[in-house]
Structure 1
Amino acid sequence: MLAALVERWRPETHTFVLPISEVTVTLEDVAHIFGLPIDGEPVSGWTDSSSEFVQSQGIAIFGREPSVSHNAKSYIKLGWVRRIRDAEPLDTEESIRRYVRCQIFCLLGSTLFTDKSTAYAHAKYPPRQR
């Protein structure tokens, strides 16, 4: 299905041309798919990328201290996140949430906001706890 959509994408109009009509992904679609709010104040500004912040966020979000890049302390290794995700037992609500947070972080770091190495993602991308 993905290959079919890629073939039907028209970059000049930012739409998918389907046999029935043209369609596009809207902000409302994003809200339904990801459960993200589309109203309210925009998210902007600087993020804290200190080692202490990265470590504390890693423990809060992934349940353990993250493995960061030695060159850039604000980048978390995607392989480490994948190992955590794959080791989750999925037997409690918290372990399911941790699995989903890991999956979202991997998606953001490897698909949407990739760097040249594709092995690291910036620490500002982990989903925040609510």
Structure 2
Amino acid sequence: MHPKQMCSDVESMGAKLVLDGEDLFIEQPEKVPPEVIGLIKEYKNRIIKYLKGSYSDKEHSVRQTIDKIIDFYHKGCPVDSKINKWLQQDIKALELLLILWRELYDNGWSYSVHICNFENEKTVELSKQIYDRAMHFFKKGAVME
């Protein structure tokens, strides 16, 4: 989910996400359901980056792509999916995914939570490489060399 949408949703509840230095706070948190607060905690780093004005649409596309790939694995790798077809043909992308997941794991990530708070420069760079390979495949129908 785009941090902009999360901020908008929270505001529609009568609360507001605000920055205080490098930390994120909810004004009037009593108006926000616990499950939404949990989601905000998982997306905290992306929300902070968005509120600082340094979260671009391109960056969101990259991260959304990685989120979709992780969701693909959560669903048991459906054989008829486009992601499955791509990863069967693009072994380099699959290798990059394994390196990405290892880096996220080393940063404290577990498969049951969102990756947002476990990203670093290396995971961002790996995500961009994976995204570029995915876009090349889906736009051109061929594996990137």
**Normalised by the size of structure 2, how large is the TM-score?**
0.30
**Higher Rg:** 1
Relative contact order: is structure 1 or structure 2 higher (C-alpha 8 Å, sep ≥ 6)?
Answer: 2
Kindly indicate which of the two structures has a greater share of residues assigned to helix. Answer: 2
